[in-house]
Structure 1
């Protein structure tokens, strides 16, 4: 989720609409209410923020200092036109990058991704479970070919990769994909998105790479493999040492590859430039 700060509410709403058309969650916060808002949200919600876009605001220095005291998310300044003096001023205030209008949302994603890589927060791309995932808006490469994904499903796949060392809950995925203040959509929509994502990946890979456990959340099976391998080894040992030693190892493998019901859906991807 990206946070937009601009004294002009219409302009801020325009930025948010551009992000929404690309399937990226964004929210506009009134600059005068930012400090109170930033104090009220918890650390889990702060971790969801992928970047701050600061437009026309009066107290840029105080805002940038407060953000840096709590969050490492990219801080990007938005200016009306290219101007060396204004650009240098923003960099001196601790901004990570500066963008002049017009710009595309995918450029914001690419620049914020580059900033996070420099901070060693995220890699340029990740190869996992037979899938190469990018973090700049590009579709993943599955089995050597590009797999076009709807915007939300691509974002969910990115969330699973970013949280690949642990499970991520449905609520956490919803907050990343739809934003922490979206009360118009129920978070159960994530289950439908993941179901369709599973089907698309399984058609290419031949297996379901997403592991899920009720109340615990989701993770990619490539990183859940250690637990599965340990369980299979323990089960194989018990079978070879017990009265059922003749049971085929195929039964063990079958118990490790249970797939849920899957559904499909089609979306259209729309690209827009933010000229506001």
Structure 2
């Protein structure tokens, strides 16, 4: 997992981000203005910065100029194309407009960390090991054959571990489309993963909602 500096002056948004990042295992540092962000980045080893643009003291663009070299995702209410272009042209790794879904933020964080080699390309839990780069799964060091969609679903559960996901959200993330019809295919795939990977006690059913991978 990574050490992530959250630079956001709106406390409810800041706390929501912090709780969700900690739930999936990240270490969080907090700054509520631009000056404080620069000081923390200079003193701590940070893998990624989540950076609001409109900040007290020093705005996000100026902060970014002073912390170059640390992977950064801008989080901002500024949604114009010119603002996005400015942020990305400065060299930011991503630009996410508020309001955003927390699962989208987690996915973008995961993508940036993998790209910058700060995120492990494998995951281990109990006797299970997943190699994301080679799309291979091992149980007790023996390979387990998973279909492409089973692997996609497993990767979504791992990326969002400890977070309850509805069946509809799992279809959106693992099947890559919105679907309002029968979601029993999710249940079928979950049951197969539980059986193949000995995860009956790890993949929990969330009553009247969906599933959660408990780590």
* TM-score of the aligned structures, taking structure 2 as reference length: 0.51
Question: How far 1:87 sits from its partner (Å)?
Answer: 0.7
- CA distance in structure 1 between the partners assigned to 2:30 and 2:128 by the alignment: 37
Residue 6 of structure 1 is matched in structure 2 by 8
Deviation at 1:20, TM superposition (A): 3.7
Q: Secondary structure at the match of 1:85?
A: helix
Larger radius of gyration: 1
8 Å CA contact 2:49, 2:72 repeated in 1: yes
Paired position in structure 1 for 2:20: 18
* Contact 1:6-1:30 at 8 Å conserved across structures: yes
5+ long unaligned stretches in structure 2: 147-153, 163-193, 211-215
Distance 1:51 1:39, change over 3 A: closer
Give deviations 1:20-72, integer Å, cap 9, x for gaps: 4545443321223222323333xxxx1xx442111132432332133225xx4
Change (3 A) 1:34 1:120: closer
RCO higher in 1 or 2 (8 Å CA, sep ≥ 6)? 1
Q: How far does the alpha carbon of each residue in 1:123-151 deviate from its partner, in whole angstroms, 9 at most, with x for none?
A: 7x44999732449xxxx774235597793
Coordinate RMSD, CA, aligned:
4.2
Tell me the residue number matched to 1:91: 88
TM-score, structure 1 as length reference:
0.41
In 1, Cα distance between equivalents of 2:91 and 2:100: 21
| Cα distance in 2 between the residues matched to 1:141 and 1:131 | 5
Return the alpha-carbon distance in structure 2 between the equivalents of residues 84 and 27 of structure 1. 30
Aligned to 2:104, what secondary structure does the other structure show? helix
> Which residue is equivalent to 1:132?
130
**Which residue number in structure 2 is paired with residue 109 of structure 1?**
106
User: Would the alpha carbon gap of residues 26 and 133 (structure 1) be closer, same or farther in structure 2, given more than 3 Å must change?
Assistant: farther
User: Which structure: greater strand fraction?
Assistant: 2
5+ residue gaps, structure 1: 153-199, 205-263, 272-276
Higher helix share: 1
Aligned mates of 2:26, 2:80 — CA distance in 1: 28
2:38 to 29, 32, 35: 35
Change (3 A) 1:14 1:78: same
Report if the CA contact (8 A) 2:9-2:31 is conserved. Answer: no
Count of residues paired in the alignment: 150
